[in-house]
């Protein structure tokens, strides 16, 4: 189990602030300080809004071409919408380009796998290049997401992992991101087992604990140069 997760003290607490029964004071003090920095940073909010606004304007013609390709290849909506858990566990609707023939948002969501028959031809390209995530710039503009942060999972998956992965709910003290520390370290695509999810959560908690604006800039740069070449995205 990752060290950052092992450090969590689950002994009886008298929390000043908690989320779904999980106290932020049950984490190391350095995590508490990082969580406050990331929640109160005006610079991070400014980076999110300016970055998402500029990105949306610059990419608009390209996004229109992607939408046209999706519409030509298969019937169905251009955008995929699904409920995700945001900061403080608040539910919001995430936007992605539709990459599959089916749309799932219930209590039994099957994760995409390699050579998944549900994925369209255009969808395979979008998923491998992470272009399917670009509509989440709208979520950032709405204040539901950040450019950088823990990746949001489907609500059904949150309910499962919050019961099986220690400290899972602590990731909700940050807004979810389009990209994150876990993703630039290669944790993308299918979650193979609980240990794999623990490694992802360890990255999420490390990000919150160590957050700085410079860290966000580095993650954005690494995402831009590496996203098209990730072999685990499908």
Q: Tell which residue, 87, 83, 114, 110, has the closest CA to residue 96.
A: 83
pLDDT at 116: 59
pLDDT at 18: 54
pLDDT tens digits along 187-225: 887 777 888 899 999 999 999 999 999 999 999 999 998
pLDDT at 107: 55
d(CA 154, CA 177): 14
d(CA 160, CA 1): 18
d(CA 159, CA 115): 27
- DSSP codes joined into one string, 27-46: S-HHHHHHHHHHHH-HHHHH
Domain positions in the chain? 24-229
The answer to whether 132 and 123 have CB atoms below 8 angstroms apart is yes
pLDDT at 15: 39
Q: Please report, to the nearest 10 degrees, the dihedral formed by the alpha carbons of residues 41, 45, 50, 56 taken in order.
A: 150
**φ, ψ for residue 179, nearest 5 deg:** -135, 170
pLDDT at 166: 83
pLDDT at 48: 98
Kindly give, in sequence order, each residue whose CB lies less than 8 Å from that of residue 169, ignoring residues fewer than 6 positions away.
Answer: 19, 20, 21, 22, 89, 162
d(CA 159, CA 168): 10
Low-confidence residues in the chain, pLDDT < 70 = 1-27, 102-117, 228-234
pLDDT at 20: 47
**φ, ψ for residue 54, nearest 5 deg:** -65, -45
């Amino acid at each position: 189990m990752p060290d950052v997760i092992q450090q969590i003290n689950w002994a009886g607490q008298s929390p000043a602030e908690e989320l779904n029964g999980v106290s932020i004071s049950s984490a190391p003090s350095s995590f508490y300080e990082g969580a406050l920095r990331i929640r109160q940073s005006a610079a991070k909010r400014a980076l999110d809004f300016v970055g998402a606004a500029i990105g949306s304007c610059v990419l608009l013609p390209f996004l229109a071409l992607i939408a046209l390709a999706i519409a030509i290849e298969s019937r169905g909506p251009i955008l995929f919408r699904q409920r995700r858990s945001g900061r403080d566990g608040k539910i919001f609707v995430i936007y992605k380009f539709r990459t599959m023939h089916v749309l799932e948002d219930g209590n039994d969501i099957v994760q995409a796998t390699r050579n998944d028959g549900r994925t369209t031809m255009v969808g395979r390209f979008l998923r491998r290049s992470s272009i399917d995530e670009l509509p989440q710039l709208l979520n950032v503009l709405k204040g539901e997401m950040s450019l950088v942060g823990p990746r949001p999972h489907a609500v059904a998956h949150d309910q499962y992992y919050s019961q099986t992965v220690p400290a899972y709910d602590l990731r909700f003290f940050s807004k979810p991101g389009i990209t994150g520390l876990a993703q630039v370290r290669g944790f993308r695509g299918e979650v193979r087992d609980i240990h794999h999810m623990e490694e992802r959560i360890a990255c999420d908690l490390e990000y919150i604990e160590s957050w700085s604006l410079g860290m966000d800039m580095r993650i954005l740069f690494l995402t831009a140069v590496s996203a098209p070449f990730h072999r685990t995205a499908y």
